[in-house]
Amino acid sequence: MTTIKTLADLKKLKDDLQEKLKPRERGLSPETQVQVKVAMATCGIASGAKGIMDFLVEEFDKRNIEAVVTQTGCMGYCYAEPTLEVTVPGKEPVVFGFVDIHRADEIIEKYIKNGELVEGIIPQNYETIEKIDNK
Amino acid sequence: MTELSLHILDIIQNSIVAKADLIEISVLEDGISDLLLIEISDNGIGIDGETLKKVSDPFYTSRTTRKVGMGISLFRQAAEQCNGSLTIESQLHVGTTVKVVMKNSHLDKQPIGDIAGVISLMVSSNPLIDFTYQHITGKGKYLFNSKEIKKLLEDIPVTDPKVIKFIKEMIQDNLHEINAST
């Protein structure tokens, strides 16, 4: 029978991580990391965006890629959910639609690692009902 | 939406848009009265009286990218199909609470699902927001507080994937201990 994870176990994990991170230069600035935003409005969640987000967090860790995965609200592409906005440092953000696990894997391997464009990109020339500052 | 945890995820998104920095989620499984109660409370900007009457209408939304907002209507439908209800209380500049109640043993009640995954995902992708999660069953009570976690982690970011995984497993283990249903 496994024991329940407690806060004491978390403390131990923290100590382990602090040891590992000491020699490495911790660049926590967004400019040096890949940023992936997963659209998580009702349309996104209903289409499986949470599963995609779980997959991305796990895969970036496994493949040792410095990336920040966050969620954002509706980007307006409800017909193409799940959608991701990927910003590789130094490049413009690219929005991918119809992302399933297979395509998410392709995006990591081909676009993020090699800069190769993948199928399913949504061009960034949509109009909103009102002009808003997209943040 | 196939699970109640996804509806909860959706309402949390609303709280984030409302600029809340503390979001409190609680789930109560009451076997004796056969009720499942879910409450999501935030300290965001709140909703004024006039708007509050309109929020359940899927054709009313505060977003500008499209004209439909379905989160609340879908959650209400999920509750009503189990003899339940969804109510929203709000005060401007104080916050909003969404309360959902439904018959626990109803055949059409969706499973709670991966609530541990939802909570850990929210904590890690919103490092500036604090979350508390309380789950009560006939067997016991579990309280998760992201403030405690962050204090304990010191300078390790809560966005670290090993931390996210740990938080998810910790919540799962503790929920299992109190026989929480998933």
pLDDT value at position A22? 59
| Residue numbers of the domain that contains A56 | 29-122
The answer to whether B161 touches B169, Cβ cutoff 8 Å, is no
* Any B CB within 8 A of A9 CB: yes
Sheet holding B130-136, edge to edge: B85-91, B95-103, B35-42, B22-30, B130-136, B141-145
Percentage of chain B exceeding pLDDT 70: 98
Give the residue-averaged pLDDT of B26-42: 94
Judged by CB atoms closer than 8 Å, whether chains meet at A128 and B65 is answered as yes
* Residue A94, domain member (yes or no): yes
Q: Is residue B153 part of a domain?
A: yes
With respect to residue A134, please indicate whether it lies within any of the assigned structural domains: no
Mean pLDDT of B89-103: 94
The confidence score (pLDDT) of residue A91 equals: 82
Which helix (H) or strand (E) segment is B48 a member of? none
Q: Does the structure show a pLDDT above 90 at B58?
A: no
Residues B5, B113 contacting (CB under 8 angstroms): yes
Q: Which residue of B has its CA nearest to A46?
A: B1
Mean pLDDT of B45-57: 86
Cα separation, B48 vs B91, in Å, equals: 7
Task: State the CB neighbour count (10 A cutoff) for residue B120.
Answer: 29
- Do the chains contact at A4 and B174, CB–CB below 8 Å? yes
pLDDT for res A25:
47
Percentage of residues in chain B having pLDDT higher than 90: 67
What is the full per-residue pLDDT of chain A (135 aa) written as tens digits? 456 778 888 888 888 888 776 555 455 555 678 889 999 888 899 899 999 999 998 898 888 888 888 888 888 888 889 999 998 888 888 899 999 999 999 999 888 888 887 777 887 655 555 555 554
R_g over Cα of chain B: 16
Task: Mutation target for A interface from B16, B66, B164: give the one with most A CBs within 10 A.
Answer: B66
Query: A75: domain CATH number?
Result: 3.40.30.10
Domain that holds residue B49: 4-177
Q: What is the mean pLDDT of residues B88-117?
A: 93
At A118 the pLDDT is 78
pLDDT at residue A21 in the model:
67
Q: How many domains does chain A have?
A: 1
Cross-chain residue pair A78–B66, CB shorter than 8 Å: yes
Q: Which residue of B has its CA nearest to A59?
A: B161
Residue A116 lies in a domain: yes
Determine the pLDDT at residue A2.
Answer: 52
User: pLDDT digits over B105-152, tens only?
Assistant: 999 999 999 999 999 999 988 889 999 999 999 999 999 999 999 988
Residues A17 and B154 sit within 8 Å (Cβ to Cβ): no
Of B13, B16, B166, the CB nearest to A13: B166
- pLDDT at residue A130 in the model: 57
pTM over 0.90: no
Task: Evaluate whether B113 touches B6 at the Cβ level (below 8 Å).
Answer: yes
The domain spanning residue B83 has which CATH number? 3.30.565
Best of B5, B6, B119, B121 to mutate (most A CBs within 10 Å, chain A): B121
Out of A17-31, B17-31, B143-157, B164-178, which region has the weakest mean confidence (pLDDT)?
A17-31
Asked if residue A46 belongs to a domain, the reply is yes
pLDDT at B110: 92
Give pLDDT, residue A102. Answer: 92
ipTM of predicted complex? 0.78
Q: Which residues in chain A are contacts of B10 at CB distance < 8 A?
A: 41-42, 45
Identify the pLDDT of residue A51: 92
Do the domain assignments include residue A7? no
B152–chain A Cβ distance below 8 A for any pair: yes
Chain A interface includes B49 (CB < 8 A): no
In a domain, A5, yes or no: no
Centroid of chain to Cα B71: 12
pLDDT in tens, B69-89: 788 999 999 999 999 999 999
**Residue B36 bridge partners (DSSP):** B29, B102
- Any CB–CB contact under 8 A between A29 and chain B? no
Q: Hey, is the C-beta of A65 within 8 angstroms of any chain B C-beta?
A: no
Q: Where is pLDDT greater, at A101 or B154? A: A101
Instruction: Report how far apart, in Å, the C-alpha atoms of B16 and of each of A57, A91, B59, B68, B130 are.
Output: 21, 28, 21, 18, 11
The 3-state DSSP class for residue B55 equals coil
How many domains are there within chain B? Answer: 1
* Domain assignment of residue B182, yes or no: no
User: Which pLDDT score, from 0 to 100, does residue B11 have?
Assistant: 93
Is B75 among the domain residues?
Answer: yes
Q: How far is B104 from chain A (nearest CA, A)?
A: 23
What distances in angstroms separate CA B132 from CA A85, A89, B37, one per listed residue?
29, 34, 16
Q: Which residues of A touch B174 (CB under 8 A)?
A: 4-5
The three-state (H, E, C) secondary structure of B100-168, written as one string: EEEECCCCCCCCCCCHHHHHHHHHHHCCCCEEEEEEECCCCEEEEEHHHHHHHHCCCCCCCHHHHHHHH
pLDDT at A1: 42
Mean per-residue pLDDT of chain B: 90
